[in-house]
Structure 1
Amino acid sequence: MNNCNPQKWSLLIASILLLCANINSFAENNKEHKFYKDSLITLREKGKLEDALQLTQNNVDEVIKEFGLSSIRMVIPLIDRGKIRLERQEFGMGAEDFKQALRIMKNSTGWLYPDYAVALNYLISCSLRLGHFQSVKPLIEEVELIFEKTIGTDNINYSHTLFNKALFETLAGNYLDAEIHYFEAIEIAKNKTDLQTYFREYSIYEVYLADLYIQQYRNTEAIHILKFLYENYKNQQLNNSSDATRILLLLGDANRKIEHFPEALFYYNQYEAQVTRLLGEEHNAHAVGITRIAKVYVQQSKLNLAKALFIKAESIYKKDETEKIRRLLVLLDLADVYIHLGNYALANQHLELAKELGSSSSLPLHNILLTSARLNILYGRFIEAELQLSELLNIMERSHMERSEYFAKATEMSVHLNIMLGRVDKAEEVLNREMTLLNTIQLEESVSYFKGLITKGRIIPKKYDDRSVVNSSLIKQKEIKSESYLKGLVTKGRILPVKTKTEIAGSVFKSDTTLIYINELLSRAKILEAKKNYALASELLTNVEDMVVHKFSKKHHVLIEIYQLQGKNLVGLENKKEALDYLNKAINVCDLLNINNDKILYLSIQKAMAEIYMSDNELDKASALYEQINYKSLENKLIKTDFEGDIAYLYALQGNWKEAEEMIISATQERLVFYRETLNYSSEDEKRLYLQKTKTLFDHFYAMIYMKGEESSGEMLSHCYNLQLEYRDFFLTEGQKRKQQLLAFKKERLDQGYPSYLNKMYSLKSNIATLNYMSTKERKEIGVNYYNVMDRINNLEKVLVYAADEYEVATEEAINWEKIQRKLEEDQVAIEIIKLKSIEAKESKYIALIIDNECAIPTIVDIGETNFLETEAYFQYSKQTTPYSRSLVMKSTKGIADPYQTFWGPIQKVITENQKEVFICADGVYNLINLNILKNRETGKFLIEEMDIKMMTSTGELLLDKKETSDEKNALLVGNPIFNENKYVSKSENTRTVVDASEDDAALEFMLDPLPGTEVEVIESSKLLKENGWEVEALMQEKATELFLKRMKKSPKVLHIATHGFFINELPNSISNNELLRSGLFFSEISKRNQRDAKEIYSSEVDGILTAYEAKEVNLDNTELLILSACQSGLAEVTDGEGISGLQYAFRIAGAETIIMSLWSVDDFATQKLMTTFYKKWFETGDKYQAFKEAQLVLMNEYKKPYYWGAFVMVN
């Protein structure tokens, strides 16, 4: 020792002392870190998150002071502070902590450091809660890559990754995948930790699993999990922790979903009290609680209480810029409350603010679409509403969210909208699809079914409380060899197949009284009422009313709709006194709920009451009620003009004709503008149904004309004529334009090398027509949902018209009678026949409006009562249309209707002697008669001999320029299709007629005679055409096919079809109420109908029946003349003022300029002679009308009876 260098000794002593000091410092630091961690755990367990946050803040400050902001030592303190903020639901601030920690690691250790994955996992959890949905997917993939390249996935931190994946799939609506990930996360956490650590740190996974079940309406399972966890928390003195607090919230959610409101409020109040005590009343977590309580109040119709809480919650979220999504959702909840209260302006204001907040979010915001659609319906913007509901339902179906409350609400709204638009069948299909989700189904027991579940990962553990979770990944890989093994697992409760969406809904809704189920029943009642099944609807509403009153109270908002609908049903049942009682009850509930009395719901109830008073002639009561109604401020033009129509009619009943006429004319003009603005892009079917559904206003107008008759004012008569023009223009002219626009769009698309989808729409229409004539059994064999097919047709037509984008509504000048007048010569008149009805349709009559080139206003002619014209008069007329009738020369006319005097006499009286050319548009029974065959007893002449009667689809067609057709003279003649395989033989082999031999539920079958005479007709006509330089193609027998006409690329200048035609007034077993499906022509394919497979017929789109529905799409763009030499080809439904049914209308849409067609079963030989004579005269004169008239006169000289020469009419 003495030999030791003193200097070295001194250095050694100093080193030892320094080492001891460092050892002591390290020990002290460890003690401090352990104390810090223990303190943090204790504070979290006791729910003292304010103190916990302060502790983590102090730790951050100390590390910054000693090591600086960028030190790697900052990572753990930042993660700790971020975790506390995450527990405090301060997701934005927590995310900033995790981002800072990630930046430090990226600049020091690099991104492969395992703690980088830990911080990234927490950042993902915050982002998902903030609604940053799509941005997290690459982050999850990055976390998985880090674990794969470093410590692997068999560690506790990877459970957090699985939890985030589950949360992501939940938000995406992929509930099955979410459930699997939750179980995988739970399994790792339980295997890698002790019981105490699991409950303190990782049991939150099970809490979120329960939340997933609540979203799926699996509330029993959710409550089981939550109560089990809460008991364990209490046992471990963790009941003040943030996780335990969240359990209280979710127990409230689960009970609210099944509408156990007292229990829900009990848990929500516990949650709120705990959050308020721990975090204060201005904290986001407090806003969460009061929002939930407000939702209960909405369901209970405590709307003003709910409004106050929503406003408070929104003010809390507004202070936190990171809480945009939760603020957005509260704004939409407020909008919903304001809609209930009738304050649409405030509702719209909150909706717009919500849209602004949601513009930067990638989260699927179903509430925005739902609220937007609801307001659009209230404002009368039906097209926008339909598009939004369609988008919403499609999004949720793709995301398997059919069991969500949004889906139920969207379905209910879709049913309501379809009923409003007149599409009752579609409404019923939508409702039936939803109701299917409310029925429990039995799981299949086949081994292949269970293997499928395992392969897809659809087997999950059944037990939650035995600490032994089945490893789902191992189950999926397990070799299953026997069915008994699988059944044994289920029987023993070891595994449970994930419930299908139908079971999930069914388990909740079957035989229950939840609001969703109540609303489904209410929708069913609406459909029954729309179908005029008033008794059944009324019975159902009585049951629903009992449910609501028993469950809630007598002042629930649903009762308003129930009472209002019950009132409508009772009016239908002619029990008006009780109807008024129910409507008064609806008003009382509105008043109790403080619903604004100037909004649509309230006003519509008052309107229904006033209508009852008017129908009972209690005009003073009706007038007093209307004086209270502030309808003028309504933004919904449909409802506003309906009110004006009612009030105008009331004025008329009171004798205030000046005010009545001014109001009704103004209202109908405004309605027409509304139609133009809203229906231009609707499909034709939807347009037709909507106009039928919303025609009450026009019924009032025509009822006022009916009341005044020939004393109607000039303004009313002028407007009446214009309405006829507008209505037909709405279908015919616009239909023609639409077809041309779509064809132009198709050509442009094909030129660009892209499909136009137009042919697909035509194919779908052919599918519908084919299905319409099949039996129920055949339809089932094909397995096609025809409602879906019709829906696709309507959707395709709308989007194609949008794509063509040729409509410029504002630039089109309205059509009117004065413009027609300017087209008329001195010897010409134009006539619109109109069938008028009284408002209750118990009385009706026919009038004619006549204009010439000098009249100041249209002249009105009262033709006669409908009942007489359509029965006795038509019966006398029809005697001339059979070959067996005797002459109509009568010795005595007393008591017998003279068809000439009945149908033409009143008109003849106002036409001057020099007015010999008459353009006439028929309506009602006039569609069934040929005016030319009416015989004037005084002169002994038929009308064809006295005047030039020119039938028109609309007198508005006088304004159309003559269509330019090519100079090419080409003709297509089709005749004598193969029908001889039918065994039926008629009594008159030379007559073209059709016998329906079908039963109600069978395929519609027709017994069709062969038509050898039509072959002669085609051959003779072809010969004449060829002799005059025409290029002729003749198709007969097996070549006379429907397929050829449908695929015809080149439009012939003349198309001559000689075959059987048909018109069916009421089609049995029909799938659609479209009138165009009830008339058509037969071709050769019909003879093989019974030998062909139903699926093959459907897929080929050809069954040998070309309906008017399909005929619209035939290429007749260059067709100057169409001859339908077929029985009943000119018949159409006797509708009132529509003129949109039958082959005439269809072929005009297709492009045919002039049409010759028949009104009754035609004699072959007479028809041959008529047609050949017509062609000869046409080639001689160049005038189609004159040639046709002369041909009929020639035939009349040979066959005296009109049956032989008068069956055919020329139109346009």
Structure 2
Amino acid sequence: MKNILAGIFFSCLFSLSHAQYVNQLIAEAEENLEKNHWEQAARGFKNILENYIDDLTYLQRANIYNNVGFLDLQLLDPFEAERNLNLSILYHEEAGIPNQKDYADALLNMGILYLEQVEFDLARRYIQKSLDILDELPGQKIEYWIARSKLAFLYEEAGSYTLALSIYNNCYDQLVASGNDLSPDFAEICSHKGRILILTGDPIEGEKFINLSNTIYQSLGRNYDVQRAESMESLALFYERMGRYGDAEKTLLDALELKKSIPDEAEILIISTLNDLGILYNRLGNISKAREMFIEVVKESEENIGTDHPFYATAKNNLGTLALTEGNVVEARDMFVDALETYRKKFGSNHPYYANTLNNLARVERKLGNNEKAEEYYMEVLRIDEKIYGKDHPDYATTLINVGVLYSSLGREHEAEKYYQEAVLIRQRVLGAKHPAYGSALEYMGMHCLAINKFKEAEKLFREAIEIQIGLIGTLFPIMTEQERQAFFQNITSNIDRYNYIAFTQLEENPDLIKRIFDFQIKTKAILFNTSDKVREKVLESTDPELKSKYRTWQSDKRLLASYYQMGVQELEQLNVNLQYEESQVERQEKELMILLENFAGLLQKVDEDWQTVQNFVKPDHAIVEIVKVKEFKSLTSDESTLFGFTDYTKYLAIIFKNGETEPEYVVLGDDFRTDEQHYTRYKNAMLFNIGAQETYNIFWKPIDEKVVGVNNVLMVPDGIYYKMNPNVLATTTGKHVIDNYYVSYLTSAKDLFRKDVEIFNKKSYLFGNPAFSNGDTDNRLNLAPLPGAAAEIQKIEGLLQAEWNVRSYLDEDANELKIRSAYNPTILHIATHGFYGDRFNFIAANSPINNSLFKSGIYLTGASETFSRFLDGIATIPENDGILTAYEAMNLDLSRTKLVVLSACESGLGEITNGEGVYGLQRAFMVAGARNIITSLSKVDDAATSELMTLFYQKLVETNEVRESLKYAQLKLREKYSDPKVWGAFILTGNG
């Protein structure tokens, strides 16, 4: 329920025959009333009624009781308001209604009260009675039209938008004609008129009236901040309907802050804003944030307005939607049934709220298999939608889609198609071809086409839908936190997976589709990583001290939060740490930082970059190979139902682009659809046991090999199992290895080609090796063997670098976590130690209060065994120097000027593979921290052989300053001594070299 601007209050000074003192009290109370000092005014009027009521005429009592009732409304005490307004009306009638105008105003205030209480029948009765009186009075036309606007508001709340808009239009015209077009009443009419226009499908026209309303409220000053905040909420609705979700969130957050800044305002005022934010976050895929908002609405409603209020019902409905999304169908149904009953009692069964909840209940019945009941509900919703909005409206289109989904699930595809087609046309016509809701309609139509094997039509539909989603990245990512960006991106990756499969099946018939596949990979792969990287770059380039200060504070608090994540629940309780509060503070800081970055568009790669852009960045003697994982998508249709979704089976595509070529080529990898586990087992058997080595090469690399003849460097953007493979070690049909023909290094994305290299101002290297895992007094329960070879490795590297570099070496006890944390922007960071990946002995991940894959990989440093022993004994350890640097902690290091990180550790390149983003492990963590290149291992490595490899690598690096060339040289030289590919080929390079 929106706040209603104008209650009516009256002057009720006594005649000169009354005591001067009482006149002074009344004057003071009215002055406070004029200044919107509600509490002071209420105290003054109530003092008069308590102490001087016998001296007042009935008419004077009536007017003062009306003022007190109005003030009770402002102070959100509806029960007292009703009592005092009833007394006002009673005294008017006892006096014989000598002043029709004052009586009409008291009736109108009572009508406003019942509007606020969502008692529409009573509200209509009092407002209409007031209007009847005002219409008969001479010279009261402005008051009449103001009262008419309250009736319009009643119809608006009741869902009768057409009637409400007609009345608002008349009120608008009358106030303009009378010169009252800068008044608060006029601003209120504009705000509500604009909101209805947005809701009924004319958002562009609606925005004009919303902006006019905001301008008037701003000119009227802080006394009208509540109304201005609510007008801002209507503006946010406009942004949301136009798909400008970033602007919508910013506007709602501004409205929330404005409401919170208003002195003496009750918590109930923020309920509508919290609810709007929850709906927006849910639409963006940020379920946890949406739930947080809705739970807060439930709490505020229970404490302030009761469980029979529509606000409470709305929150329950929205929580039910989240429960349904998460598969809690029965819980969702209970919430929807409760909300529906509340709406029915308050609004009747022809209201938008009732229709929305009935729509949700229909979804529940469909999921429970009660298809007849679901169809009955959907048809009722269509009837209500048509009555309220007409057919040409986005909400009507939404219900059409829901009916289509029901019919698709029942195998009634011909009927479903009609509903999908009508929905697509409505959303395109009303919202435009760039709107995300139109894109969503295309997805449903695409799924339908996919289910009935119309692959050509499905390809076009999904292509257009994805292009709309990609277009939103530049709009949404600017104001999103990392978590929000991740949630939003999940929606895109599902569509891209579907598109890849559809296009893959048609490549033989239409080879040009490979360009579309390549374009989507370029625009989206590792977009989350690239965005984080660009944020850091933008801050470093900025000369704004406030921006840099906020960034430093945010980074510092993120590091502190990382330490909390490594504590158990009991430790957090002992330290009195509220983890949820600390998370919200870090998120708030990040949001403020994003808003400060006004020119955020420059942070992201242009969304129009495509395969032709990449063409310009491929160097001579280079080729880029984009690996694309194709997930099998199947539909099973019977007479009774249709099921569709991804299977566990995959194939791989390689898109190849060489310097000088005009178009990309592609090859299919793998002989058949298999699970990734089956694919990877082949590679692993070839590496570990030399079983099927030739077949492995033939399946996973030979088709690429045949396309890159004549190049010296292949830059591979991996996907799926290719993240865990080093193609350099594959044995070719000529008895050589791939490395003999060219060198393969990794990129996180084809966009890495566009990245600027790090400017080296100071050749500074930090070298860590052979940590003292145990102090000798503690059992080495982690079974971490000492690494004397690593100590020798560091000493040799120091000797090679010290002539031209500022070298700092840390061995034994000095190779600890605090020293790494203090290594500020080294040009080279080299760490020789044990690494870990997975759940075995991973007590950090097991102990953490959150589930994050970045805790499943890391490196061991000085004191790691003691930390493990203390953990087993139930003793807390300070995470900042516990001897275990997790990938999560590494991500928060400052390596923004670091050219190279070398992780000379076992399995330091492994991690959890995330669709569209790569490996969530140490490799990603150090690159998010800023490193341009990183060398990691994919397998367990021999201490002595690794030491030799690193010595050879740095010998060449000092000579050439070329990372890629130096690693290739080192691996080829090491192969002369160790023929086993697991030894000389354990390490890979990620980065541009």
Q: Same fold (TM over 0.5)?
A: yes
Paired amino acid for 1:1171: M
CA pair 656-963 structure 1, distance change in 2 beyond 3 A: same
1:187 corresponding residue in structure 2: 47
2:809 corresponding residue in structure 1: 1034
1:1131 corresponding residue in structure 2: 910
Distance 2:409 2:831 in 1: 51
CA pair 639-195 structure 1, distance change in 2 beyond 3 A: same
- Give the secondary-structure state (helix, strand or coil) at the position aligned to 1:831: strand
1:496 corresponding residue in structure 2: none
Paired amino acid for 2:27: H
Distance 1:538 1:962 in 2: 56
Shift of 1:1130: 1.8
1:1055 equivalent to 2:829? Answer: yes
2:638 corresponding residue in structure 1: none
Match for 1:377 among 236, 240, 244?
Answer: 240
- Give the secondary-structure state (helix, strand or coil) at the position aligned to 1:919: strand
1:1168 corresponding residue in structure 2: 947
CA pair 820-319 structure 1, distance change in 2 beyond 3 A: closer
Match for 2:31 among 139, 159, 164?
Answer: 164
Check conservation: 1:564, 1:582, Cα contact below 8 A. Answer: yes
Matches within 5 A, 1:868-887: 868-878=674-684, 887=689
Check conservation: 1:641, 1:667, Cα contact below 8 A. Answer: yes
Check conservation: 2:686, 2:696, Cα contact below 8 A. Answer: no
Match for 1:741 among 532, 538, 556?
Answer: 538
Check conservation: 1:1108, 1:1142, Cα contact below 8 A. Answer: yes
Match for 2:344 among 517, 532, 549?
Answer: 549
Paired amino acid for 1:723: F
Distance 1:1037 1:159 in 2: 83
Check conservation: 2:25, 2:44, Cα contact below 8 A. Answer: no
Distance 1:278 1:706 in 2: 77
Matches within 5 A, 1:577-596: 581-593=376-388, 595-596=389-390
- Give the secondary-structure state (helix, strand or coil) at the position aligned to 1:980: coil
Percent identity over the alignment?
A: 22
Q: Any idea what the Cα deviations from partners look like across 1:617-675, whole Å, max 9, x if unmatched? A: 75543443344323333245222333445556666777777666566555544543442
Shift of 1:167: 5.7
1:472 corresponding residue in structure 2: none
1:1025 corresponding residue in structure 2: 801
Distance 2:885 2:58 in 1: 72
Matches within 5 A, 1:294-309: 294-309=152-167
Q: Any idea what the Cα deviations from partners look like across 1:802-834, whole Å, max 9, x if unmatched? A: 2xx374589969433344445557864321111
CA pair 928-1112 structure 1, distance change in 2 beyond 3 A: same
Shift of 1:391: 0.8
Match for 2:477 among 637, 655, 679?
Answer: 679
Paired amino acid for 2:795: I
Check conservation: 1:763, 1:1101, Cα contact below 8 A. Answer: no
1:771 equivalent to 2:550? Answer: no
Check conservation: 1:301, 1:557, Cα contact below 8 A. Answer: yes
CA pair 698-220 structure 1, distance change in 2 beyond 3 A: same
Relative to structure 2, which stretch is displaced further, 611-620 or 392-401?
611-620
Check conservation: 2:229, 2:256, Cα contact below 8 A. Answer: no
2:763 corresponding residue in structure 1: 969
Shift of 1:525: 1.7
Match for 2:309 among 490, 494, 514?
Answer: 514
CA pair 664-367 structure 1, distance change in 2 beyond 3 A: same
Distance 1:1102 1:375 in 2: 50
Q: Any idea what the Cα deviations from partners look like across 1:846-877, whole Å, max 9, x if unmatched? A: 22222334655433333349973422332454
Relative to structure 2, which stretch is displaced further, 718-727 or 329-338?
329-338
CA pair 754-691 structure 1, distance change in 2 beyond 3 A: closer
Paired amino acid for 2:826: P
- Give the secondary-structure state (helix, strand or coil) at the position aligned to 2:808: strand
1:57 corresponding residue in structure 2: none
CA pair 1072-437 structure 1, distance change in 2 beyond 3 A: same
Check conservation: 1:90, 1:284, Cα contact below 8 A. Answer: no
1:33 corresponding residue in structure 2: none
- Give the secondary-structure state (helix, strand or coil) at the position aligned to 1:632: helix
Distance 1:699 1:293 in 2: 52
1:759 equivalent to 2:552? Answer: yes
Paired amino acid for 1:726: K
Of structures 1 and 2, the larger Rg is shown by 1
Matches within 5 A, 1:859-1008: 859-864=665-670, 868-878=674-684, 887-889=689-691, 899-908=696-705, 910-911=706-707, 914=710, 917-935=713-731, 943-944=738-739, 947-960=742-755, 962-966=757-761, 968-977=762-771, 979-980=773-774, 985=780, 989-990=784-785
TM-score, scaled to structure 1: 0.70
Q: Any idea what the Cα deviations from partners look like across 1:455-501, whole Å, max 9, x if unmatched? A: xxxxxxxxxxxxxxxxxxxxxxxxxxxxxxxxxxxxxxxxxxxxxxx
Distance 1:1012 1:401 in 2: 69
Distance 1:1055 1:1020 in 2: 15
- Give the secondary-structure state (helix, strand or coil) at the position aligned to 1:850: strand
1:326 equivalent to 2:185? Answer: yes
Shift of 1:690: 1.9
Shift of 1:923: 1.0
Distance 2:726 2:934 in 1: 14
Relative to structure 2, which stretch is displaced further, 1076-1085 or 329-338?
1076-1085
Shift of 1:978: 5.3
1:461 corresponding residue in structure 2: none
TM-score, scaled to structure 2: 0.84
Distance 2:704 2:411 in 1: 34
1:799 equivalent to 2:573? Answer: no
Shift of 1:429: 1.7
Q: Any idea what the Cα deviations from partners look like across 1:1070-1097, whole Å, max 9, x if unmatched? A: 77777656654555587679999x9x99
Distance 1:239 1:665 in 2: 72
CA pair 1029-560 structure 1, distance change in 2 beyond 3 A: same
Q: Any idea what the Cα deviations from partners look like across 1:4-54, whole Å, max 9, x if unmatched? A: xxxxxxxxxxxxxxxxxxxxxxxxxxxxxxxxxxxxxxxxxxxxxxxxxxx
Match for 1:208 among 52, 67, 77?
Answer: 67
1:290 equivalent to 2:148? Answer: yes
Shift of 1:273: 3.3
- Give structure 1 stretches of 5+ with no counterpart: 1-86, 99-114, 120-151, 171-177, 440-501, 991-1009
1:841 equivalent to 2:656? Answer: no
Check conservation: 1:217, 1:257, Cα contact below 8 A. Answer: no
Shift of 1:514: 2.0
1:607 corresponding residue in structure 2: 401
Check conservation: 2:628, 2:654, Cα contact below 8 A. Answer: yes
Distance 2:917 2:20 in 1: 72
- Give the secondary-structure state (helix, strand or coil) at the position aligned to 1:1151: coil
- Give the secondary-structure state (helix, strand or coil) at the position aligned to 1:513: coil
Distance 1:689 1:1041 in 2: 35
Paired amino acid for 2:118: E
Paired amino acid for 1:1054: I
Shift of 1:972: 0.6
2:488 corresponding residue in structure 1: 690
Check conservation: 2:481, 2:591, Cα contact below 8 A. Answer: yes
RMSD of Structure 2 on Structure 1 (CA): 4.2
1:254 equivalent to 2:52? Answer: no
CA pair 840-656 structure 1, distance change in 2 beyond 3 A: closer
Q: Any idea what the Cα deviations from partners look like across 1:867-911, whole Å, max 9, x if unmatched? A: 734223324544678xxx6x3347xx9xxx964444335544x43
Check conservation: 2:870, 2:877, Cα contact below 8 A. Answer: no
Check conservation: 1:328, 1:354, Cα contact below 8 A. Answer: yes
2:524 corresponding residue in structure 1: 727
CA pair 720-580 structure 1, distance change in 2 beyond 3 A: farther
CA pair 401-194 structure 1, distance change in 2 beyond 3 A: closer
Between Structure 1 and Structure 2, how many residues are aligned? Answer: 950
1:1155 equivalent to 2:895? Answer: no
Distance 1:209 1:774 in 2: 55
1:1116 corresponding residue in structure 2: 895
CA pair 558-1154 structure 1, distance change in 2 beyond 3 A: same
Matches within 5 A, 1:432-443: 432-439=295-302
Check conservation: 1:210, 1:225, Cα contact below 8 A. Answer: yes
1:53 corresponding residue in structure 2: none
- Give the secondary-structure state (helix, strand or coil) at the position aligned to 2:911: coil
Distance 1:670 1:809 in 2: 20
